[in-house]
Structure 1
Amino acid sequence: MAVLPSLATVADLATLLGRTFTPQQELQAQALLDQASSVVRAYVRQDITRATTTDTFTMRRADPYLHRCAGVVTLPQRPVVDIATVLVAGVESSDWWQDGSDLLLKAWPWNEPPAAHRPPQVTVTYTHGYDPVPGDIQAIVLQAANRVIVNPSGIRSETVGGESVTYLIPAVGEYLGVLLSRTEQRVLDRYRRTAGTVNLRSR
């Protein structure tokens, strides 16, 4: 599986901080941006960046009154920019159309093999994601990385004379480095995939 790029750049982070990084600091900044990007992607369950993927799914029966077709596949990566090819049970098909993230297949004999024994497998090559990365996602990645650079120990307050130190403890427990605040999660909820789609393989 290809390594996904960071959702923000070291140059973006340097501009946010108003500083110039040394080579060693650039490596640290890139590592933090990679971590923050991974955390954001895990939360929204999306790759986010523009890419072309080939995935294989199990076709499910469509509601004939809602979809007016034989079968449907919901593509998990969004937004769907373009669908290049569709193979049903290994045979290329042009008998389909797109409705948002749904791939609708016009006709399929469900009472004949292989559908009689199990639903057919649908292999889809499609382009998805954003180019450029939405500004609010980029801002959250930069904020998450910046928090660690500015406050690597997660200290919220410190009293020097009385030797009192208060640490930033997230709701999940101990301080773990690059995390998302609840406010940031609420912002990301608009991009989050909530409906499950069975993904058999990708290449």
Structure 2
Amino acid sequence: MAVLPSLVTVADLAALLGRTFTPQQELQAQALLDQASSVVRAYVRQDITRATTTDTFTMRRADPLLHRCGGVVTLPQRPVVDIASVEVNGTATSDWWQDGSDLLVRAWSWDQPPAAHRAPQVTVTYTHGWDPVPGDIQAIVMQATNRVIVNPSGIRSETVGGESVTYLIPAVGEYLGVLLSRTEQKVLDRYRLTAASVRVRDC
């Protein structure tokens, strides 16, 4: 599987912070941006960046009240920009159409038992993701990265009754590091995948 690029560049982060990184700081910033990008992608279950992927999925029967077709596959990576090719059980077909993230195969005769227990396998090559990356996603990646740059140990100090007290967690009760706050998760929820087709394999 190809390594996905960071959702934010080091140059973007430096511009936000209004500073110039040394070569060593650039390496640290890049590593943190990579981590933050991975955390965001894991939360939303999306690659986010524009890419073309070939995957194989298990077709499911269409709901006759919603779709008049032979079967449906829901493509997990979004938004779906273009579908280049479709194969059903190894046979190329152009008898399909797209409805949002759903690929609908117009006509397909499902096998009778016992072969009916083996649902058709659909191989799809499609382009998906955003170009450019949405600004709110980039902002969250930079926030998560900057938390570690500014306070790598997660230390918070305050003075109580004339005594200095130091904590390893912030006032919200958790040391976030390159993890996501609840507020950041709420922002990302609009991009999060909550249901998807069964993914069989990468091609």
Structure 1 residue 162 displacement after superposition: 2.5
Amino acid at match of 2:9: T
TM-aligned CA distance change 1:187 to 1:48, over 3 Å: same
Distance 2:121 2:193 in 1: 22
Distance 1:86 1:113 in 2: 25
Tell me the TM-score normalized by structure 2: 0.93
Q: How does 1:59-98 map to 2 (within 5 A)?
A: 59-98=59-98
What's 2:41 paired with? 41
Question: SS at the partner of 1:142?
Answer: helix
Asked whether the equivalents of residues 154 and 175 of structure 1 are also in contact (C-alpha less than 8 Å), the reply is yes
Structure 1 residue 167 displacement after superposition: 2.6
Distance 1:197 1:72 in 2: 9
Provide Cα deviations, 1:68-92, integer angstroms capped at 9, x if missing partner. Answer: 1110000000000000000000000
- For structure 1, which runs of at least 5 residues remain unmatched after alignment? none
- For structure 2, which runs of at least 5 residues remain unmatched after alignment? none
Asked whether the equivalents of residues 60 and 119 of structure 1 are also in contact (C-alpha less than 8 Å), the reply is yes
2:165 paired with 1:164? yes
Distance 1:114 1:45 in 2: 35
Asked whether the equivalents of residues 81 and 128 of structure 1 are also in contact (C-alpha less than 8 Å), the reply is yes
Asked whether the equivalents of residues 64 and 70 of structure 1 are also in contact (C-alpha less than 8 Å), the reply is no
Tell me the TM-score normalized by structure 1: 0.93
Distance 1:95 1:132 in 2: 32
Structure 1 residue 98 displacement after superposition: 0.2
Question: SS at the partner of 1:78?
Answer: coil
Q: Aligned pair count?
A: 202
Amino acid at match of 1:166: Y
Asked whether the equivalents of residues 80 and 100 of structure 1 are also in contact (C-alpha less than 8 Å), the reply is yes
Provide Cα deviations, 1:84-139, integer angstroms capped at 9, x if missing partner. Answer: 00000000000000000000001111135896241110000000000000000000
What's 1:182 paired with? 182
What's the C-alpha RMSD, in Å, of the aligned pairs?
A: 2.0
What's 1:28 paired with? 28
Distance 1:164 1:69 in 2: 66
Question: SS at the partner of 1:15?
Answer: helix
Provide Cα deviations, 1:142-198, integer angstroms capped at 9, x if missing partner. Answer: 000001001111123344972410232597x86362111111100000000001321
Distance 1:156 1:71 in 2: 56
Asked whether the equivalents of residues 45 and 192 of structure 1 are also in contact (C-alpha less than 8 Å), the reply is yes
Seq. identity, %: 82
